[in-house]
Amino acid sequence: MTNPLVTRDRIEQEVREALGTTLRIETPATIDLDSSIVNDLHATSIDFLDINFRLETVFGIQMNTQGFLDLVEEELGDGKAIDRDGKVTAAAAEIMKLHLGGSDGIESGMYSDETAAVVTPRMVCDAVEKLLGTLPAACTACGATEWKSEDGAKVTCGACGKAAEYTPGDDLTKRWIQDIEREKQLFASA
Ligand SMILES: [Zn+2]
């Protein structure tokens, strides 16, 4: 589902802005959406927190606070995603590829901290779009169904003015992990 009040163009623009400001890139419009945020744009994990915070502020969403593999372990069991040597298990590599939309660069046996290098600006846009897509049908405060957006980024209730409540990123990802595991049984024999 997509949010009818926030366009993909706007999401891409804000992701570029957040990357540009955090990473001091003077011409954010030129950022390649398929570049590696870690390898090509040289972001650190602290930078990711900053980028996420900027996007949360602009859109009124809650980005993921935990890494994907940590969420997999929380849902499916300790040691299921990362083995004792800190390497990604075969099942975890599979579920991560599905999560990222068939990404190259994820292999079973790679170190879990190397997986951050596959994240691209386009994936950040996709994540923001998914979160915005959890806009409830009706306002959770007054029940009205009159969403509006003054700035094309933040959505508020047209009746009571309350900000839209989106599903938090970690919750959305956990739900996805459970759904996909029910369907694919990637970890059933792991
Ligand atoms: Zn309302």
The structural domains of the chain, ordered by start, are 8-184 (1.10.1200.10)
Q: Give 118-139 pLDDT, tens digit per residue.
A: 999 999 999 999 999 999 999 9
Task: Write down the pLDDT at residue 190.
Answer: 54
How far apart are the CA of 6 and the centre of ligand 1, in A?
Answer: 18
How far apart are the CA of 66 and the centre of ligand 1, in A?
Answer: 30
Give whole-number Cα distances, 100 to 19, 127, 137, 161, in Å: 19, 10, 27, 35
Task: Write down the pLDDT at residue 1.
Answer: 75
Give per-residue burial for 100-129: e unless 16+ CB within 10 Å, then b.
Answer: beeeeebeeebebeebbebbbbebbbbbbb
Beta bridge partners of 157: 147
Give yes or no for a contact between 81 and 72, defined as CB atoms under 8 angstroms apart. Answer: yes
How far apart are the CA of 133 and the centre of ligand 1, in A?
Answer: 18
pLDDT confidence band for 165 (50 / 70 / 90): very high
Enumerate residues with CB within 5 Å of ligand 1 (an ion): 139, 141-142, 144, 157, 159-160, 162
Give the tokens for residue 104. Answer: 């190259």
DSSP 190: -
How far apart are the CA of 134 and the centre of ligand 1, in A?
Answer: 16
Segment 175-186 shows an average pLDDT of 97
Q: Give 93-118 pLDDT, tens digit per residue.
A: 999 999 988 767 899 999 999 999 99
pLDDT confidence band for 22 (50 / 70 / 90): very high
